[in-house]
Structure 1
Amino acid sequence: MKAKHVLFVISLVAFPLFDAMGQQAFDVIYIEYPPYYFTNNGKPDGYLLSRVSSVFNCARIDYRLMVYPSNRALHEVRTASNTISIGWFKTQDREQFANYSLPLCQARPQVAVYLKKNEDKFAEFRSLKDLLSKSNLKIGAIKGHSEGETVDSIIRNSSDNVILVGAEQINLIAMLGAERFEFILLPPEEVQHLLASSGMNPRDFEMKTLDDIPPGNKRYLIFSKDISDETIHSINTCIAKSHFER
């Protein structure tokens, strides 16, 4: 990996590290996606990062933590060795090149987020499918980022009203505020944090539940295919233990 692309490297020394299984230390990648994982005052932060750190300590896994854009993170898992990335949804495409852990967490159902001044435009719609097929309202979505199979399918079938952007979640909020599109989808637990982080006034925005969005998606660790079943089992055991202890 080129050092200029890496913002954070933890446990990095001048010789290869090895974990409890006798394998070289892992590159563990996260993306900027608050409140789950993000950079705070120059340091990795977020409740899911904290949980993963506890899981790796339990499994006696040595690792180097780094941050990349979402497309680059997936590319690294696909092509590099000893690589793990944090917090991904499960899709058929990703299962072709990555192995999955047990779920780390499950989000609440996503909601439509839009500017309060536009609330009348959303009043008559009760589903994402109707919003995209029976109005001119456009949704902003991150290119290469999955929202889960159900939502991805609805978006694919309504591409005329979808604006894909090469950005991270916090940039998507800013684009919504600048009226690049009319709404985005977010789990409700993320909305306030993202608005505050982007400097937006929460009073300027509304949230709306949509009938055709299923319960929240589960987030997983994904592993490059060369990582052993034994290592994944050790990590899964610690994930299961952390669920039980909560």
Structure 2
Amino acid sequence: MLTALNNPRPAMLAVFMLLGGSVAAAASPTITVSWRDKPPYHYLDNGVPKGFLLERTQAIFAAAGIATRLAPEPQKRIWANFSHGATNYCSFSWYRLPEREAVGQYTLPISIDPPHSVLVSGAALARVKTHATLAALLADQELTLGVVDGVSYGPELDAMIAHSANQMMRRTVDTTSMMRMLSVGRASIMLVDREDWEYVHRHEPILQSTTRLDFPDMPPGLKRYIVCSRDISPLVMDKINQAITATGGAVRSSHGTEEERKAHQRP
């Protein structure tokens, strides 16, 4: 205290830096942060935004000192916004794909998915269980694969789907709607995010007729990122990356206990 009184310069410098930081934060434009409906990652519950990855993203921007405005939007609109040069715009929970890197800039990863599973309709379960691997399953011409159009399942799975011998049922719907279609037999199988399935399975009794199976040759889960428009400055991107590191880096999604995971493994 005596040092500060006798030599006021350090104290004055600290106040100046604090005020300067506040002015800079106030001068920074609010960033629109868009997100698609994907429970339990990010969704609306009676109009209230919820979800563990939405909360994580809010914590990251708060730690970075960046003001945001949440904007739930359909997936295709989000990527159209990036393609058409939206400004002061970010979105989160995306895989890293070359075509997306062409229109936006990626942060460090914020989470890591578990591997996908296969969701099976009641009518197709016996036939599906004759296949020991995902490769064999996708070679079965008698099965119908439900695919959510416009969604990436990751580079490896996208390529496997493109070369699959299954009959295809592509629909521009959300994942929950595709699960409902499968539960009434409109498709035999679909690839499913484990977090998605466990959330919907708890909330939709109709899905009790479906079975989730895991296959040994399923590609590993992918990392998810925040993507921002090209006009976001390197300084702001660096602040976001520092906040990601400070708040835990790429956290792993939790998808149940070890006993629950074993229950879904192939025999």
Q: TM-score per shorter chain, which class?
A: 0.7 to 0.9
Q: Which of 78, 90, 93 lines up with 1:73 in the alignment?
A: 78
What CA distance in whole angstroms lies between the structure 2 residues aligned with 1:62 and 1:125? 51
Query: How many residues in Structure 1 have an aligned counterpart in Structure 2?
Result: 228
- Is 1:49 equivalent to 2:54 in the alignment? yes
RMSD across aligned C-alpha pairs, in angstroms? Answer: 2.1
Aligned equivalent of 1:232: 237
Change (3 A) 1:234 1:141: same
> Are the aligned partners of 2:123 and 2:188 in contact in 1 as well (CA < 8 Å)?
no
Shift of 1:159: 7.0
For residue 19 of structure 1, report the CA deviation from its aligned partner: 7.4
Q: Paired residue for 1:128?
A: 134
**Which blocks of at least 5 consecutive residues in structure 2 are unaligned?**
1-22, 252-267
Task: Give the AA of the match of 1:133.
Answer: A
Q: Please, what TM-score do these two structures have when normalized by structure 1?
A: 0.85
Q: Give the Å deviation of 1:128.
A: 2.8
1:202 to partner: Cα distance: 4.7
Deviation at 1:160, TM superposition (A): 5.8
Structure 2: distance between partners of 1:125 and 1:38 = 35
Q: What do the CA deviations read for 1:62-90 (whole angstroms, capped 9, x no partner)?
A: 11101111111111122211111110011
How many angstroms does 1:117 deviate by? 4.1
Task: Indicate the larger mover: 65-74 or 129-138.
Answer: 129-138
Retained in 1: the 8 A contact 2:145–2:166? Answer: no
CA distance in 2, matches of 1:186, 1:35: 13
Give the direction of change, closer, same or farther, for the CA distance of 1:227–1:29 in structure 2 (3 Å limit). same
- In structure 1, the partner of 2:125 is 119
Query: Unmatched 5+ residue regions in structure 1?
Result: 1-17
Larger Rg belongs to: 2
8 Å contact kept, 1:112–1:184: yes
5 Å-filtered alignment, 1:1-246, equals 20=25, 22-79=27-84, 80-158=86-164, 161-197=167-203, 199-243=204-248
Contact 1:77 1:85 in 2 (8 A): no
Distance in 2 between residues matched to 1:70 and 1:146, nearest whole Å: 11
